[in-house]
Structure 1
Amino acid sequence: MSECIKVLNELLVDTFNDILEIEQRALQSGSFNDISVTEIHTIHAIGMYIPRTMTEVACSLNITLGTLTIAINNLVKKGYVQRQKSQTDRRIVNIQLTKKGKLAYRVHKKFHTDMVKATIKGLTEEEEGILVKSLEKLNVFFKSKYNLKTNLKEISNE
């Protein structure tokens, strides 16, 4: 294995693990110490403004409806999410964030914004472009290799 591949592998694995660890620590030490990283990512998938169906959120997270139901039950108990029957079709249950859930969403989004700003701090526009292109290639590889949907549009619209 070339030295470049070895270093990149270590950096990617370490960075991924560090992000998860830092997110968990930030949650535990902050106002949202009653939720996990998985739950904050569920909150993020629900989004701020438009109520979503359970199926939509499960698809966004690439998890089963049963797995999401358990997560939503916990988030409802903790006061982050509320369920609401559709006005047009009573069989459909929409989920949306409560005021507390929206605050958690904003704090999590700021964490990610700060992380990205720190990543590109001091880079030239050309270096930023190279970093973006490289990460896009990595993202496309993972999505195509494991048949995951691409969320680049969703990410760029947040």
Structure 2
Amino acid sequence: MNQSKIILNELLVDLFHDILEIEEKSLRESGSDLTITEMHTIHAVGEERPRTMTEVSRDLNITMGTLTTGVDKLIKKGYLVRKRSEEDKRVVLVELTEKGIEARRMHDSFHQDMISSVIEALDDGEEEVLIQALNKLIGFFDEKYRS
């Protein structure tokens, strides 16, 4: 492997690891009883409208069984509620409680602070190059691993 590939590999692995570690630390320091996985589920459910379990499992790229287990835990902790669709009783919907909305907003604020601190260290040209590079990286992952 050439030197550029070695450096990029190390940078990406470190970046992904650091982001997860910082998120976990932020959750612990806030006194939250949530795991990163649970926070990602809360984020996927969102605030806009009740969502079907199928929509959420697809967005998280997890099985329905895995999501059901996670949703059950979040219901017990008071972050989500489950209900049946009025139009079709076979459809199960999940939505955030007030506690879930508060947790999501706190996590969104963490992400905004993280992005702001990254951007303030860059000039406009560097910011544009970073955006373009990350878009290409996401496109690669979408094509290679999510198709």
TM-score class, shorter: over 0.9
* Structure-1 residue corresponding to 2:84: 85
* Structure-2 residue corresponding to 1:138: 137
Distance 2:64 2:3 in 1: 43
Distance 2:143 2:91 in 1: 32
* Structure-1 residue corresponding to 2:42: 43
Q: Which runs of 5+ in 1 are unaligned?
A: 149-158
Pairwise mapping of residues 22-41 of structure 1 onto structure 2 (< 5 A)?
Answer: 22-32=22-32, 34-41=33-40
* Structure-2 residue corresponding to 1:61: 60
Q: Secondary structure at the match of 2:89?
A: coil
The code of the aligned residue for 1:108 comes to: H
Distance 2:146 2:100 in 1: 30
Distance 1:80 1:31 in 2: 15
Point out 4+ residue stretches in structure 1 off by more than 4 angstroms: none
Q: Secondary structure at the match of 2:94?
A: strand
The code of the aligned residue for 2:40 comes to: H
Seq. identity, %: 50
Q: Which runs of 5+ in 2 are unaligned?
A: none
Distance 1:141 1:75 in 2: 33
The code of the aligned residue for 1:18 comes to: D
What is the Cα deviation at residue 120 of structure 1?
1.3
What is the Cα deviation at residue 4 of structure 1?
2.6
Give the TM-score normalised by structure 1: 0.88
Distance 1:105 1:63 in 2: 20
Q: Secondary structure at the match of 2:111?
A: helix
